[in-house]
Amino acid sequence: MLRRIDVNASWRSLDTGFWSDELPLGCRTIVYGHNGSGKSTLSELLLSLAEGDCVTDVVWEDENKHRSNIKAGGVCPSVSMAVFTRKWVETNLSAFLDGANASAIVTLGKEAIEAKEEEERLTEEIGKLRDDVKETETQQNAVSSKIDKLTHDIQDRIVSELKEFDYNYFTKNRFSVTRVKDDLRKYKGDFPDKNSHAEALKRLGESAPSPLSQVVPPPTEATSKLTNLSELLAETPTRVAIRALESNPEAQAWVEQGLQLHEGLDHCLFCAGTIDNTRREQLARHFDESWLQIRNKSKTLLDGVMSEKEALVAWCAALPAATQLASELQPVYEDAMRQAKVDVDKRVAALEAIEKVLSDKVADPGTTPDAPDWSILGSTMSVTVLARTVTEHNDQVSRRAQITETRKQTVLNHLVGEHSESFRKLEEQFKELTEQGDTARQALDRATRRLDQVRQAQFTTKAMADTLTRDLARVYGKDHLRVAVTPDGKSYACQRGNEPGTNLSDGERTTLSLLYFLRKLEDEQVPERDDVQRIVVIDDPSSSLDREAVFATHQWLIDTLKGFGQYIILTHDFSLLRLFIKSYKNAWGKSMSKISKGDTGEICFPKVSFLEMYAVEVDGERRSRVGKLPSVLLNNTSEYAYLFSMVMAGIADTDNYERLFLLPNAARRILEVFASYKAPHRTDFLQQLEVLVKTHQGEPYRDVYDFCNRFSHGEGSESIDVLDARTVHGQIRRCMEFMRAVDPEHFERMCKATGADPSTLA
C-alpha cells in the first residue's frame, strides 16, 4: 500500500517535501482540493508509476514506512495500482469519447484465455519495439539538435561577422535557418582556409582607399649639362684671355711670358713705358671679361645642379605615403619606396658635391678644383615597382565594390564550406535514423493492430454490455444511455435510445469513462493477484455531474471499491466531500479513537484519512502542498462557510497565511453565493453585484465590483480557479467589508458560525 510519496526534484507544481510525514494516506482516503491545487499533477505522477514509466525520481513510502527510491522511468513497487485520470481517459477512450461520434469502446470480458496469452506476448513485443522507437527517437533528437546547433552557430557567425559591412543584407531574415541548411547541403569542393577568412575580414574592416596620383620618373635634366664639368673647373681667367691669340702662337707665348715678367713692376721691360693706373685698368678690363665668362658659366651650371637637387627632394617627398595604399600593397610599396629614397639620397649627395666645387668656382673663377664623382647621376633610377603598385591601388579603388563583394564571399564560403561536410554527414545520419525509426514504427503499428484484434477477441459479450448499461442507469436514475454490442460483434457502442450516442456531455463522458475503468479492474482479476493487494486512485470522479448524479456516483464508488486494499479519491467537489465525510463518519471516528490512544499501526496507516491539497506561492511560483483537512471543512455543511472562514483567517493573518494563493478567488466565490441570495431577480453574478453596489449612495464599493469583474473566473459551484497570488489583502478585505455593509446581521452570524473574529475588519 501507499502511505505517502515524495519527489527528489521539482516536477511541475510538486517539490521536495510537499507532503509531510505526519499526514499519511489510509486504506480509504479522500483528498479535497480546489482546481489548481495540484491534484491532477499528483494523479498523473501515480499514473506514470502504474504504467511502469515514472516521470521523475520519487520516494515511495509503504504502509510500514519502508521507503523505496524509484528513478525516472521506473515501475511501481506495489503489486498492482490502477489510476483513473483525465490523461488515462484520453489515452484509453479518446476514440470512444470523441464527443462528436461515439462509436466503438474497448470491450470487456473474461472468455478469451488464449487471446490473453497472445496479448501478453504482443505486449512484451510492443514494449521492445517501443524501446527501439524511443531509442531511435532519442538518437534522432540528438542528431537533430546537433544539426540545429551547427546551423544556428553558422547563421550567428554570418550575421555577426558580415552584418556591419552590409546591414540590410546580412540579416537572420535573409540568411534564415532554411537557407543556411540549403547552402551547407549544396556546398562542394575547396573552401577558403582560416587565414584567407581572417585576411578577408581584416580587409573588409578597412576604410575605403582614395585614388592616388601616378608616380612620374625622377628629374634628370642636369645630367646632360655635366658633361664638360671637368673642363669648366680647370679653366682660369688668364687662359681664357690668351685663348684669343691661338691664331698667333708666337704672340701668345710672348704675352704669357710678359704677364709673368711684369708681375709687380711699374715699367714695361720691353718698351720702358710707364705702367700706370690707367694702363692697369685697361689690362684688368681685358682680363675681367674672361673672369666673368667663367663665373657665369659656373653659376649657370650651379643653378641647374641646385634645381635638380631640389627637384629630386621634392619628387621623393611627393611620393604617396605607404599608408595611403590598399593594405595588401603596402609591404611591396614600402620596400620600393625605401630603395627609391636610397637612390635619391645618393644622387642628392653627388649633386651636393658638385654644388660645392661649383660654388667655389663661382666665388673664385681662377681656382681649379677637382671634379667629384658624379657617375651615379648617369645611371637610371627605376620607379617601375612604385608606379605599378600605385596603378594597382587605383585599379582596386575603381573596383572597390567588386573587391568588397569578393571578400564577403570569401568569408561566407569559409563559414559554409568549412562545415558543409560535417553537416551532410549529420543529415545522412539523421536520414538513416529516420528510416530505422520508420521501420520500427511500422513493426510497432503492425503489432499494435494485432494486439487490438486480440483484445477485441476477448470481449463482445452481451452480459458485459448489459452490466455497463445498468451502471449508467444506476448513476443517472434513468436509462437514456445504454451500451450494446456492435453489429460486427467485435466491440461495444454507446446508444441514446435506438440512435448512436453522439455528442456526449462532459458529465456523460466522465461517468462512462469511470464505469469502464472500474469494470476493467474487475476484468483484470487473476487468481494470483488478490484485490486486497490492489491500489485504486480516482481523480475527480464527479466532474461536470449534476447533484443527483454526484450522490449516485458517491454510493456507487463506495460499493464498487469496497473490495480493494486501498483506494484514494481526489476531488474538488465540496458536495462529494460532504457525502464521503458522512459515509465514513463511524469508521473515521473509530480510527481517530485508536490514534488518540496511541495505536501505532493506526497512526502509521489509518483506516480512513481525509487530506487537503492546496496551492502556495514559493519564490513567485505556484507549489502544491498536502495538509490535514481543516476542521471547518469537517464540521461545516456548506462550502460557503468554509470559504468565509478561510478568507477571514487570511485577513487576520496577513504575514503568514500559506493559503494566500487561493484567497482572491475564494473571496469572489463568497460574493457569488451572497449576491445570488441578496439579488435573486438578476441571473448574472456581475448584474447582481451591480445592484448591491448601487444600494450605497456614492457607490463606495465600486472597487469591489471592479475586482470581481477583473478576476472573472470559473462560473458554477464546482470550479474555483487559482488567481494571481499577488492580489493584495486590501482587495480581499474590501470584499468582506462590502458584505458587512450590505448585510451586517448576516456577516455577524457567519462569523459566529465559523468562529471568525468580526473585529478583524475593524
Residue 405 or residue 352, greater confidence: 352
Over residues 311-321, the pLDDT tens digits come to 888 888 888 88
The count of structural domains within the chain is 4
Question: Rounded distance, CA 60 to CA 386, Å?
Answer: 87
Reported as a pLDDT band with limits 50, 70 and 90, residue 568 is very high
Long-range contacts of 464-472 (CB under 8 A, 24+ apart): 464/107, 464/108, 464/109, 464/492, 464/519, 465/492, 467/519, 468/108, 468/492, 468/512, 468/515, 468/516, 468/519, 471/515, 471/519, 471/556, 472/511, 472/512, 472/515
Q: Is 724 exposed, middle or buried (0-12, 13-18, 19+ CB in 10 A)?
A: exposed
Whether 473 is covered by a domain: the verdict is no
CB 129 within 8 A of CB 447: yes
Q: Express the helix, strand and coil content of the chain in percent, nearest 5 each.
A: 60, 10, 30
**620, 699: one domain:** no
Percent of the chain at pLDDT > 90 equals 3
Over residues 165-206, the pLDDT tens digits come to 777 778 888 888 888 888 888 888 888 888 888 877 777 767
Reported as a pLDDT band with limits 50, 70 and 90, residue 668 is confident
Residues spanned by the domain of 541: 4-79+529-626
Whether 642 is covered by a domain: the verdict is yes
Tally of CA atoms within 13 A in the half-sphere of 585 that contains its CB: 6
Whether 555 is covered by a domain: the verdict is yes
Reported as a pLDDT band with limits 50, 70 and 90, residue 282 is low
**600, 659: one domain:** no
Q: Would you say residue 147 has pLDDT above 70?
A: yes
Q: Which of 400, 330, 359, 411 is nearest to 154 (CA)?
A: 411
Q: Is 321 exposed, middle or buried (0-12, 13-18, 19+ CB in 10 A)?
A: exposed
Collect all residues with Cβ–Cβ distance below 8 Å to 707 and sequence separation of at least 6.
668, 731, 734, 735
Reported as a pLDDT band with limits 50, 70 and 90, residue 109 is very low
Question: Rounded distance, CA 627 to CA 396, Å?
Answer: 81
Whether 155 is covered by a domain: the verdict is yes
Residues 344-372 have a mean pLDDT of 85
- The mean of the pLDDT values for the chain is 78
Question: Rounded distance, CA 709 to CA 733, Å?
Answer: 16
Lowest mean pLDDT among 123-132, 465-474, 670-679: 465-474
Residue 460 or residue 257, greater confidence: 257
Question: Rounded distance, CA 173 to CA 725, Å?
Answer: 40
Residues 537-553 have a mean pLDDT of 74
Question: Rounded distance, CA 399 to CA 140, Å?
Answer: 48
pLDDT at 652: 77
Reported as a pLDDT band with limits 50, 70 and 90, residue 100 is very low
Residue 571 or residue 715, greater confidence: 571
Boundary of a domain, candidates 450, 474, 489: 450
Reported as a pLDDT band with limits 50, 70 and 90, residue 721 is very low
Reported as a pLDDT band with limits 50, 70 and 90, residue 725 is very low
Whether 636 is covered by a domain: the verdict is yes
Boundary of a domain, candidates 435, 450, 465: 450
Whether 92 is covered by a domain: the verdict is no
pLDDT at 407: 78
**616, 640: one domain:** no
Cell of 606: 489509518
Q: Which of the 8 DSSP states describes residue 299?
A: H
Whether 90 is covered by a domain: the verdict is no
CB 529 within 8 A of CB 491: no
Q: Would you say residue 406 has pLDDT above 70?
A: yes
CB 62 within 8 A of CB 604: no
**608, 657: one domain:** no
pLDDT at 527: 45
Residues 322-347 have a mean pLDDT of 86
**740, 652: one domain:** yes
Question: Rounded distance, CA 675 to CA 691, Å?
Answer: 9
Over residues 428-466, the pLDDT tens digits come to 988 998 888 888 888 888 888 877 766 655 545 666 777
**199, 66: one domain:** no
Question: Rounded distance, CA 574 to CA 610, Å?
Answer: 13
Whether 107 is covered by a domain: the verdict is no
Question: Rounded distance, CA 389 to CA 338, Å?
Answer: 14
Q: Would you say residue 356 has pLDDT above 50?
A: yes
Q: Angle 256-257-260 (CA atoms, 0-180°, nearest 5)?
A: 90
Over residues 362-372, the pLDDT tens digits come to 888 878 888 88
**Cβ atoms within 10 Å of 490's Cβ, excluding its own:** 16
Lowest mean pLDDT among 145-154, 170-179, 344-353, 460-469: 460-469
pLDDT at 47: 87
Q: Would you say residue 525 has pLDDT above 60?
A: no
**664, 723: one domain:** yes
pLDDT at 724: 45
pLDDT at 707: 82
Over residues 635-654, the pLDDT tens digits come to 666 777 878 887 888 777 76
**744, 622: one domain:** no
Lowest mean pLDDT among 401-415, 484-498, 623-637: 484-498
pLDDT at 726: 45
pLDDT at 403: 77
Reported as a pLDDT band with limits 50, 70 and 90, residue 701 is confident
Taking each helix axis from N to C end, the angle separating 663-678 and 702-710, rounded to the nearest 10 degrees, works out to 120
**637, 613: one domain:** no
Question: Rounded distance, CA 468 to CA 435, Å?
Answer: 44
User: Quick one: how far is CA 215 from the chain centroid?
Assistant: 57
Cell of 633: 471543512
Say which amino acid occupies 161: E
Collect all residues with Cβ–Cβ distance below 8 Å to 716 and sequence separation of at least 6.
none
Q: Would you say residue 491 has pLDDT above 70?
A: no
Residue 712 or residue 172, greater confidence: 172
Over residues 43-71, the pLDDT tens digits come to 889 888 888 888 899 999 888 888 888 89
SS3 95: coil
List beta partners, residue 69. 59
Q: Is 301 exposed, middle or buried (0-12, 13-18, 19+ CB in 10 A)?
A: buried
Radius of gyration of the chain (CA): 55
Question: Residue-wise over 172-183: b if at least 16 C-beta within 10 A, else e?
Answer: eeebeeeebbeb
pLDDT at 113: 42
φ/ψ (deg, to 5) at 622? -80, 130
Lowest mean pLDDT among 104-108, 183-187, 228-232: 104-108
pLDDT at 632: 66
**689, 654: one domain:** yes
Collect all residues with Cβ–Cβ distance below 8 Å to 547 and sequence separation of at least 6.
575
Over residues 288-306, the pLDDT tens digits come to 567 778 888 888 888 888 8
Boundary of a domain, candidates 408, 424, 450: 450
**274, 375: one domain:** yes
pLDDT at 260: 60
Q: Which of 34, 99, 59 is nearest to 506 (CA)?
A: 99
Task: Name the helix (H) or strand (E) containing 567.
Answer: strand 566-571
**279, 372: one domain:** yes
Residues 402-421 have a mean pLDDT of 83
Which CATH number characterizes residue 580's domain?
A: 3.40.50
